A and B are shown apart, each in its own frame.
Chain A
C-alpha cells in the first residue's frame, strides 16, 4: 500500500481505454490483458487521464459527486490506486 496521500499519480501511456456508458475497459499493452472498471473506478480513471492527481485531490473530486463518508472514500481510492499501480495501469509522477 502506498500511504503517501500527496503522491501524484498519472495514467500509463501503455494503456488503451474504451468508455462504454459509465464503465471503462482498459487494455494494458505491457500485460496484454484487459481490465474492467466499475463506474466509480472509471470516474477515477477519467480524472487521472485528464490531469495527474493525488489521492487527496481525487477524494475531493469524488466527494463533490457522490454522497460518501470521507474516510470510506479515501480508503476505497487508496485500495484502487494500489491495485491499478500494481497492475502498472498508473504510475507515480517523478
Chain B
C-alpha cells in the first residue's frame, strides 16, 4: 500500500513526494471491522467512531461544491444546511461549533458504557450517513489517518500521527493561501489552525450573533458557497513548487519525520503469524495475572486473557487473534508490542 491510496486526490499534484511512501496495509481496525461495535450495548453502535466533527477547510468545502460526483450530493446538502445555520461557518472552513464541542465534552466526561446513546448520536459527524461518509473525496486530516489500532503497533500509530500533522499543516497553509489570494487582509488572517473559541459570533446558548457573523465575513456574507468554491479553484491549481514555497521548512521537517517513522512502521509490521516462544513458562501462582517467563525476561498478562496469548500458535493469523480480543473490547496492540519486544512472541 502507498500513501497515494489514502491521501485525497486534490493533494496528488500539490505534494507528489508523499504519494510513493509505502506502508503495511492496516487490517486490524478499519471502518468495516469497527472495534467499537462488537456489542449491541455499545453507545457507539450507530455511529462507530464518527463522533467527531472534522474541520473542513475552505478549499475542501469548495471541492465538494464543485465536484459533480453523485456520491457528494448528500454532502453538499449538508454543507448548505450548515451554511444556512451559520454555526461554525468561517472563511477558514466549517469548524465544530461551540455547542457541538460542549456536547462532545459532556459525552467524554461519562464512563464509556454509561454514555447515553442519544448524547453520543448528537455528536455524530454531520457528514456521516448510515455509517458512510458523504464527503469522502474531500475528507480532512484525521479521517485519513485515524486507526484505533495499527498493524505496526506504536510505530504504526506514530507514522499516522506524522502523516496527520503533514496533512493538517497542508490544510491550514493552503486555506490561508486561498484567503490571501482572494484579497483577505493578511493582518486579519489567523496564523494557526482555528477552533470555535477563536470566533465570537456564536453565543454560549448556541444562538448566532448575526452582526458579528457579518463582521467576520465582510463582503462575502451571503456568498459563502461562492467563497469556498473560489478557494478550491485557487488551491487546485497550486503546483508542487508553489506548495513548497508556501509551507517552507515546516513541510520539509514533517516530510523527514514521515520518512523516518515509515521505516520503523515497516520494520514493526505485525507478521501474518506469531508464535509464543516455546521456552516460555507461565507462572499461574497469582490469581489476577499470569507471569510469562522467558529466561530472565518476564511479562504480566491478566489471567483471563491467557487463551488469547496461547492463540499465537503459529497457525492462527495475528489479525484473527486481534479480532478475538476486540470481541471483548480488548485492544492487544500494546501487549503484543511488549511481548514482541521481549522476544516472548516471535515469528514462527
Contact = CB atoms under 8 A, between A and B. Distances in A.
A23 B307 contact: yes
B304 interface: yes
Nearest to A22: B307
B220 interface: no
A17 B308 CA distance: 12
Nearest to A36: B304
A30 B245 CA distance: 55
B330 A34 contact: yes
Contacts of B39: 16, 29
Contacts of A20: 307-308, 310-311, 324
Given A13-B41, A29-B113, A36 B303 contact: yes
B38 A25 contact: no
A1 B310 CA distance: 34
Interface of A: 13-14, 16-21, 23, 25-27, 29-30, 32-36
Contact of A27 (B306, B310, B329): B329
A49 to B, nearest CB: 13
Interface string B117-134: 000000000000000000
Contacts of A14: 41, 113
A18 B328 CA distance: 6
Contacts of A13: 40-41
Contacts of A19: 324
A16 B324 contact: no
A36 B327 contact: no
Given A16-B328, A16-B329, A36 B307 contact: yes
Interface of B: 38-41, 113, 302-308, 310-311, 324-325, 327-330
- Majority SS at the chain A contact face: strand
A23 B306 CA distance: 10
A34 B41 contact: no
Contact of B327 (A16, A21, A29, A33): A16
Shortest 3 CB-CB contacts between residues of A and residues of B: A18-B327, A36-B304, A27-B328
Contacts of A16: 38-39, 327-329
B305 A34 contact: yes
Given A16-B39, A16-B329, A27-B329, 9 more contacts: A13-B40, A14-B113, A17-B328, A18-B324, A19-B324, A20-B310, A20-B311, A25-B304, A25-B307
Contacts of B329: 16, 27
Contacts of B113: 14, 29-30, 32
B304 A35 contact: yes
A32 B113 CA distance: 9
Contacts of A21: 307, 311
Given A29-B39, A29-B41, A29-B113, A17 B327 contact: yes
A54 to B, nearest CB: 26
Nearest to A18: B327
A16 B304 CA distance: 13
Nearest to A29: B113
Given A16-B328, A34-B330, A25 B305 contact: yes
A25 B41 contact: no
Nearest to B308: A20
B258 to A, nearest CB: 35
B328 to A, nearest CB: 4
A5 to B, nearest CB: 28
A27 to B, nearest CB: 4
Contacts of A30: 113
A89 B113 CA distance: 16
Nearest to B303: A36
30 contacts: A16-B38, A16-B39, A16-B327, A16-B329, A18-B325, A18-B327, A20-B307, A20-B308, A20-B311, A21-B307, A21-B311, A23-B307, A25-B304, A25-B305, A25-B308, A25-B328, A26-B304, A27-B328, A27-B329, A27-B330, A29-B39, A29-B41, A32-B113, A34-B302, A34-B305, A34-B330, A36-B303, A36-B305, A36-B306, A36-B307
